[in-house]
Amino acid sequence: MNILRVLLVSGCMFLTGSQAYAQKLSGLWLDDLNIKSFSEGIPAVLGKTNASGDPMLIKGVHYKHGVGVNSTSILAFYLNGNATGFSALVGVDDKGNKSLPHTFYVIGDRKILFKSREIRWGEAPQAVYVNLTGIKRLGLLVMVNDEGLTKTYANWADARFEMLKNHLPQNIPNDDERYILTPPPAKAPRINAAKVFGATPGNPFLYTIAATGERPVIFSAQNLPSGLSLDTKTGIITGSIKQRGSYTVVLKAKNRFGQAVENLRIKIGDTIALTPPIGWNGWNSWARNIDREKVISSANAMVRTGLSQHGWTYINIDDAWQGQRGGKFNAIQPNEKFPKFREMVDYIHSLGLKAGLYSTPWISSYAGFTGGSSNLENGFFPDSVRDHKRLFRYIGKYRFEKNDALQMAEWGIDYLKYDWRLEVPSAERMSIALKESGRDILYSISNSAPFSHVQDWARLTNAYRTGPDIRDSFNSLFVSAFTLDKWSPYGGPGHWNDPDMMILGNVTTGTQLHPTRLTPDEQYSHVSLFCLLSAPLLIGCPIEQLDAFTLNLLTNDEVIAINQDPLGKPARLVSEENGVQIWLKSLEDGSYAVGLFNTADFGKTPESYFRWGDEKPKAFTFEFSKIGLKGKFKLRDVWRQTDIGSFDQKYQTQIRHHGVVMLKMIPEGSSK
């Protein structure tokens, strides 16, 4: 006997055989949810408006309810059988792109329940209704080949769930085992600091010998150049070197369990940042709520958690520290949240750490604070600009790069994040100002540096953002990192490709502070690929809130050493087959680092954008010849820090869904 389903306005009646029953339903507008928390795309999604915050219009018709999205959009919901229907009108917003076609999908438990026609600007919306009875996981997907174009606005207008009474959609569960692979450090010392360090002649020098091992540890340094001194208790080396040249220093760390010895190459010349910067940035932790106490707490936590013993160095203050211009340089001064600013920086340095700041060439920063230019000759930042920050996101008539660089140098700043979507002249002006400031300040530009100018970024800056702001979703990680192969030839010592901050721990990327939505496997892939890419490693969560799993991810010295390898050669994507990407990185000692990533052909089908809860590991045969390697190799699992054995021509393994197997490959016969 056929099953009859009748959807009523006031409820839902199901007739199955001779049994009939009714259950009340509750209509739920999609825009009444905290819709940002369900988004796994990159640009913002907004409820009740289009993605730019303007009224939602499709072919001139205004919709009071709905969700506006931008670019390829991914909304994921856990319904667990508590929804019976979904309806909407889908179309391109009247302020959207006028040429690109958009396709809308509704996907439930891996099945495409609805696929729209290709919809373009100016076309009437298409109606959607799908029966969701029994559906556990639902995905709403908009696909558009935007190729970096902006304002590709589309709408789920009048979008509405029919839910069983007293039930609401939930976020997709992220409760997979948080398995720990890295063994704890030994009690005997191990030196983990970068093996090469660059500084400018005559400028202040700060290098900390990062070392694990039971305290107390006594540090020493043989052949330390004239002008430098070492604190034997802390391992902090300070001073300055006037003479250009390359100096080899023998570093030692000793405790009652043994002694570690490593060589450090100090290069005094025109190039700093000879290895990628590694530290913390405050934006994805505290956003606009950053203050002096949070910065000091982060610095203390960097030491207390032991991160500093593994080489983590920078404590970077992002946007929202800026007050008015003033002081002897007429430079941006800290606002009321940052009293005793120089004292704070000195304290960070006393811990062997370095301090960073944020600025922008615009009149108004992204968060609405004083920028590096103004339409007023004295650079004053009036409330009228602060209150209308979006209108002042451009470079003003008067520029203050030299003023601000001199002030940062006087404070002792070591790192500048310079935002937003810079053009070459602005980047060059600040580059010159920093080099003439009298202090080595690592220069990082953000956001979405155009690839067409990559040679300029490599020439002018120490790090340059290769894409948009990262979000804590696999889609964002994939776009930010798994597509960087074309950038790899341009990264290297002194100029690093930067895919943005790390999305581990508790993050606030567009929503309130919450645990990262990356699965444990995706987090291992995240750290692995950033290290293979020689990318800056900037923790984007409150350090004092780190749990054991996240701290373990950040303290594997063999994985970090791949990132900090002195050769500084970013990995290349050398193979992609059957849903597995292989990234290969040459190391200074003649060995290789390899990442085998099970991306499961992410982005190649509509279903692949979502996590369905039934994913399985993939059996994989790694054939060395397919990536250009011949002969026999000793393989080491760097996450587990264990030798696997010697293998000729191939290695068979299993890779977890969106996970990684990360190997060090040592040519047979090598002692490395």
Q: What are phi and psi of 558, to 5 degrees?
A: -75, -35
The pair of three-digit structure tokens given for residue 143, joined into one six-digit string: 């696909």
Q: Is the pLDDT of residue 672 over 70?
A: no
Position 7 confidence tier, pLDDT thresholds 50, 70, 90: very low
CA-to-CA distance for 114 and 65, rounded, in angstroms? 21
pTM, 2 dp: 0.94
Cα 393 to Cα 359, 373, 420, 433, 483: the distances in Å are 13, 10, 9, 22, 29
Strands (E), 38-82: 46-47, 56-58, 61-63, 66-70, 73-78
Whole-number CA gyration radius for the chain:
27
Residues 6 or more apart from 384 whose CB is under 8 A from it?
none
Looking at residue 146, its pLDDT comes to 81
Report the relative pairing of strands 618-623 and 153-164 from DSSP bridges.
unpaired
Worst-scoring range by mean pLDDT, 75-79, 391-395, 446-450, 572-576? 446-450
Looking at residue 22, its pLDDT comes to 41
Q: Is the pLDDT of residue 120 over 80?
A: yes
Report the relative pairing of strands 314-316 and 354-359 from DSSP bridges.
parallel
Quickly count: other Cβ atoms within 10 Å of residue 595's Cβ: 24
Position 420 confidence tier, pLDDT thresholds 50, 70, 90: confident
Position 21 confidence tier, pLDDT thresholds 50, 70, 90: very low
The pair of three-digit structure tokens given for residue 124, joined into one six-digit string: 């009437």
Residues 6 or more apart from 254 whose CB is under 8 A from it?
189, 217, 218, 219, 220, 260
Q: What are phi and psi of 118, to 5 degrees?
A: -70, 115
CA-to-CA distance for 213 and 190, rounded, in angstroms? 6
Quickly count: other Cβ atoms within 10 Å of residue 399's Cβ: 19
Quickly count: other Cβ atoms within 10 Å of residue 156's Cβ: 31
List pLDDT tens digits, range 511-559. Answer: 789 999 999 999 999 999 999 999 999 999 999 999 999 999 999 999 9
Q: Which helix (H) or strand (E) holds 595?
A: strand 592-598
Looking at residue 150, its pLDDT comes to 72
List pLDDT tens digits, range 142-152. Answer: 999 987 667 89
Q: What is the mean pLDDT of residues 136-147?
A: 94
Looking at residue 151, its pLDDT comes to 87
CA-closest candidate to residue 400, choices 417, 379, 383: 379
**Mean pLDDT of all residues in the chain?**
94
Q: What is the mean pLDDT of residues 12-27?
A: 46
List pLDDT tens digits, range 315-368. Answer: 999 999 999 999 999 999 999 999 999 999 999 999 999 999 999 999 999 999
Position 132 confidence tier, pLDDT thresholds 50, 70, 90: very high
Q: Are 464 and 499 in contact (CB under 8 A)?
A: no
CA-to-CA distance for 311 and 557, rounded, in angstroms? 9
List pLDDT tens digits, range 152-167. Answer: 999 999 999 999 988 9
CA-to-CA distance for 247 and 242, rounded, in angstroms? 12
CA-closest candidate to residue 492, choices 446, 525, 455, 445: 455
Q: Are 48 and 64 in contact (CB under 8 A)?
A: yes
Cα 75 to Cα 63, 92, 383: the distances in Å are 20, 17, 37
List pLDDT tens digits, range 432-491. Answer: 999 999 999 999 999 888 999 999 999 999 999 999 899 999 999 999 999 999 999 999
Name the percent of the chain lying above pLDDT 70. Answer: 95
The pair of three-digit structure tokens given for residue 308, joined into one six-digit string: 């500093």
**Rounded (5°) CA angle 235-240-245:** 100
Q: What is the mean pLDDT of residues 234-240?
A: 98
Q: Which helix (H) or strand (E) holds 548?
A: helix 548-553
Looking at residue 11, its pLDDT comes to 35
What sign has the CA pseudo-torsion 501, 502, 504, 510?
positive
**Rounded (5°) CA angle 176-179-185:** 160
Residues 6 or more apart from 233 whose CB is under 8 A from it?
216, 218, 219
CA-to-CA distance for 39 and 510, rounded, in angstroms? 10
CA-to-CA distance for 561 and 662, rounded, in angstroms? 13
DSSP 265: E
The pair of three-digit structure tokens given for residue 597, joined into one six-digit string: 């990533």
Work out the end-to-end distance of the chain between its first and last CA atoms, rounded to an integer number of angstroms.
Answer: 72
Residues 6 or more apart from 405 whose CB is under 8 A from it?
430, 433, 434, 436, 437, 441
Looking at residue 447, its pLDDT comes to 85
Quickly count: other Cβ atoms within 10 Å of residue 228's Cβ: 18
CA-to-CA distance for 111 and 245, rounded, in angstroms? 64
Domains, in order of start, for the chain: 24-164 (2.60.120.1060), 190-268 (2.60.40.10), 278-416+424-441+498-566 (3.20.20.70), 574-667 (2.60.40.1180)
Neighbour-count burial of 212, counting CB atoms closer than 10 A to its CB (0-12 exposed, 13-18 middle, 19+ buried): buried
Q: Which residues are catalytic?
A: 419, 469
Strands (E), 10-164: 11-16, 19-29, 46-47, 56-58, 61-63, 66-70, 73-78, 83-92, 103-108, 111-115, 126-131, 137-143, 153-164
Q: Is the pLDDT of residue 671 over 70?
A: no
CA-to-CA distance for 253 and 394, rounded, in angstroms? 50
Q: Is the pLDDT of residue 2 over 90?
A: no
3-state secondary structure (DSSP) of residue 329: coil
List pLDDT tens digits, range 278-329. Answer: 999 999 999 999 999 999 999 999 999 999 999 999 999 999 999 999 999 9
Position 14 confidence tier, pLDDT thresholds 50, 70, 90: very low
The pair of three-digit structure tokens given for residue 613, joined into one six-digit string: 């809860």
Q: What is the mean pLDDT of residues 126-131?
A: 98
Q: Are 643 and 572 in contact (CB under 8 A)?
A: no
